[in-house]
Amino acid sequence: METEGPGLLFTIAAFIGGFSILVFIHEWGHFAMARLFGVKVDTFSIGMGKELVGRTDKNGTRWKISVLPLGGYVKFFGDASAASNPGDIPEGLSEEERAVCYHYKPLWQRALIVFAGPAVNLIAAALVFSAFFYSYGIGIAEPVVSTVAEESAAAEAGLQPGDRIIAINGEQIERFSDIGGIVKLYPGAEINVLVDRGGVRESFDVTLGIAYMEDRFENRYPYGQLGITSGEIKRVELGPFGALYEGGRQTVAMTDTIFTTIGQMIIGLRSVRELGGPARIASMVGEAAHISIENFVWLLALLSLNLGILNLLPIPVLDGGHLMYYGLEAIKGSPLSKKAQEAGFVAGFALMLIFMLLVTLNDLQSMAL
């Protein structure tokens, strides 16, 4: 029996609420590290634009919720804007003001303040994954082939039941789930599979099959298919440290998947039409919240991971762009000229604008189908 999906208002509310949580986590990372180093924070805003409601704390920070519910920022003392552009160094400050001004802090402290935002997003994701593993345990199967589907990629390459898969494309395989994590990234591509067959190592070049996953907008996403199944899956209960290990392992694996996918899009192996914009993400969040709170929280952890990684890309206007400038400053011994930095931020803004137009167009095309 098919259940009714979430309504539009529910989807919008779930998306705004969930995204606001992610923004708060990200900006709190910047805020906490800045306060650790004695930087005065003028504003901590969830949302953009005109203030709806807010209060000022004893340290002079204005905490507020703003009218546009997407995004947020922290504004440090001395900033010309919320962007904390490296070139905007205020002049004419007293010694007391310089002591609490972000731009007068040592380079390594400024870099850590910038890095803390994405880092907290990644840590939050890992902790959520760990909490799930602690609560529900984990299913583990040995990387041993149980069955091989007829006319599958595995069958054509010569894989057999009983083969223990040791590595794929040089990546070590510890569990059967590791196989799927790699294979799905290479639809139709040739991969190298190293197996242990009766104590003898053998190498196979396998041209993967292509299967498709379809979303509610009838978008089809290709993924690689090998055509093997595992043996018995054992349910393992985890203690706190085991759960933390598994949460970290999950975070590393998903991070590798994200970077691999980005690289494939850059070199043309994947279509940029697979990228979803606000409408598609909102739909996913709404559906997850409609199913259960567990699904909602798990998806927020995935989005937090993606947000952290996106912000670390070396694109001016993103945190990674700031870190790139600080890296160049460390090498050069002095900041880049303000003109060079401003040109970079204009280019970065244009690139992000093109990206947003692209994913929004993908959403519109999806909804038009």
Catalytic positions: 27
What separation in angstroms does the CA of 124 have from each of 87, 120, 285, 295? Answer: 31, 6, 18, 16
CA-derived radius of gyration, the chain = 24
What is d(CA 141, CA 269) in angstroms, rounded to the nearest whole number? 31
48 forms beta bridges with 68
Long-range residue pairs from 161-169, CB within 8 A, at least 24 positions apart, any chain: 162/197, 162/198, 163/195, 163/196, 163/197, 164/195, 164/196, 164/197, 165/193, 165/194, 165/195, 166/194, 166/195, 166/196, 166/201, 167/193, 167/194, 168/192, 168/193, 168/194
Cβ neighbours for 40, distance < 8 A, ≥ 6 positions apart: 59, 60, 61, 76, 77, 100, 101
φ, ψ at 72 (rounded to 5°): 170, 175
Cβ neighbours for 1, distance < 8 A, ≥ 6 positions apart: none
What is d(CA 122, CA 306) in angstroms, rounded to the nearest whole number? 8
Q: Which of 1, 7, 2 is nearest to 289 (CA)?
A: 7
Q: Which of 347, 214, 366, 346 is nearest to 278 (CA)?
A: 366
What separation in angstroms does the CA of 25 have from each of 307, 310, 330? Answer: 11, 15, 28
207 forms beta bridges with 190
What is d(CA 280, CA 263) in angstroms, rounded to the nearest whole number? 22
By the 10 Å C-beta count (0-12 exposed, 13-18 middle, 19+ buried), 303 is classed as buried
What is d(CA 290, CA 14) in angstroms, rounded to the nearest whole number? 9
The position carrying tokens 């040739």 is 190
